[in-house]
Amino acid sequence: MSEPSSTETEARLVVIGSARGAVFESIKQLKLVLDVRIGDFKQLGLRDEYFDDAQGSLVQQDCALRLREVTEGASKRTLLTFKGPAQITGENCVERMELEAPWSLEFLGKVREHLKARDIHWEGAAIGADPLQVLGALGLRSIQVRENQRQTANMGLDGNPLAELCLDAVSYTAGEFVIEHREVEIEAHGATSAQELLTLAVDFEERFPGELLPWPWSKTAVGRGLERMERRAELAAHLKGRELDADGYKRLGVYLKLGAFMQEG
């Protein structure tokens, strides 16, 4: 997001079925959803790494700190993101506060000031050029890493931007397993409401019956849930190649609905 501070509002759909890549290709051929025009898609490579302190202070408060490396063509950039507690609106729409800006010690300082209001204090000085070394010196540890090949396009009505459409192909590692997870994310631009996003999501779901399902859970929560399934020796039985089968998503959804893995976004 371009603004350093904002409210993130998005609707999500998980891709299931036997031809998940084909669903993405079919979506990319769409020009209109309802009366909303879909622009041209571009490809982004995202590497997301999440951090917390030894006490799990961020997870306990339903917050997240993310270091994101974005690759677009030959260019690369690093973003630092802080996300506040999530509020689920409707069946698959989520709203949460977000602070995001290019990595800098100055912006990290603003995040730390914001966290002090939540009674989260990290001792030590933020010194150095390498983000990993800086975060490590503050006592933070990596709690999840994932790769995401994102295809993204703007959605608009009468020339006015309404949302960003993202087709995310995410790779998780849980124990010895690599899991490929696909989801459709519709993120609001400006004053676009949660209800407008939900209306768009329903139209997508109806176009692909049995292949797109409402999915309010964050990608980080998904990763933690997959790790839980692996620890309980439940994951292997639900994998077809590197994809979780429909029953596996139902099982994962049960864990996520309990709320134990919704702490990060």
Task: Please tell me the predicted confidence (pLDDT) of residue 259.
Answer: 64
Give a yes or no: residue 265 inside a domain.
no
For residues 97-115, give the mean pLDDT.
Answer: 93
Residues 15 and 40: beta-carbon distance below 8 Å: no
Give a yes or no: residue 262 inside a domain.
no
Task: Please tell me the predicted confidence (pLDDT) of residue 205.
Answer: 95
The overall average pLDDT reported for the chain is: 90
Q: Residue with structure tokens 């630092």? A: 80
Q: Which domain holds residue 199?
A: 5-257
Give a yes or no: residue 178 inside a domain.
yes
Give a yes or no: residue 90 inside a domain.
yes
Calpha distance 222→225 (Å, rounded): 5
What percentage of the chain has pLDDT greater than the value 90?
Answer: 72
Instruction: Give the model confidence (pLDDT) of 196-241 as tens digits.
Output: 999 999 999 999 999 999 998 889 889 989 998 999 999 999 999 9
Calpha distance 215→208 (Å, rounded): 15
Task: Please tell me the predicted confidence (pLDDT) of residue 103.
Answer: 96
Give a yes or no: residue 264 inside a domain.
no
For residues 249-259, give the mean pLDDT.
Answer: 87
- How many other C-beta atoms are found inside a 10 Å radius of the C-beta of residue 144? 21
Domain total of the chain = 1
Calpha distance 252→7 (Å, rounded): 27
Instruction: Give the model confidence (pLDDT) of 48-66 as tens digits.
Output: 999 999 999 998 898 999 9
Calpha distance 115→253 (Å, rounded): 30
180 has a pLDDT exceeding 50: yes
125 has a pLDDT exceeding 80: no
CATH of the domain at 139: 2.40.320.10
Task: Please tell me the predicted confidence (pLDDT) of residue 257.
Answer: 83
For 65, counting Cβ atoms within 10 Å of its Cβ (0-12 exposed, 13-18 middle, 19+ buried), the class is buried
Instruction: Give the model confidence (pLDDT) of 10-20 as tens digits.
Output: 999 999 988 99
Q: Characterise 231 by phi-psi region: left (phi > 0), alpha (psi -120 to 50), beta (else).
A: alpha
213's CB contacts (< 8 A; 6+ apart) are 13, 14, 16, 205, 249
146 has a pLDDT exceeding 90: yes
**pLDDT confidence of 261, banded at 50, 70, 90?**
very low
Pick from 154, 165, 140: nearest CA to 82 = 140
Task: Please tell me the predicted confidence (pLDDT) of residue 6.
Answer: 79
Give a yes or no: residue 110 inside a domain.
yes
Helix (H) or strand (E) holding 246: helix 246-257
> In the Cβ-directed half-sphere of 174, how many Cα atoms lie within 13 Å?
27
Give a yes or no: residue 106 inside a domain.
yes
First to last CA, the chain: 14
40 has a pLDDT exceeding 90: yes
Task: Please tell me the predicted confidence (pLDDT) of residue 13.
Answer: 96
Q: Helix, strand, coil proportions of the chain in percent (round to 5)?
A: 30, 40, 30
Length of the chain: 265
Tell me the pTM.
0.89
7 has a pLDDT exceeding 90: no
Instruction: Give the model confidence (pLDDT) of 69-95 as tens digits.
Output: 999 999 999 999 999 988 887 777 888
Instruction: Give the model confidence (pLDDT) of 152-173 as tens digits.
Output: 999 998 888 999 999 999 999 9
Give a yes or no: residue 231 inside a domain.
yes
140 or 190: which leads in pLDDT: 140
1 has a pLDDT exceeding 70: no
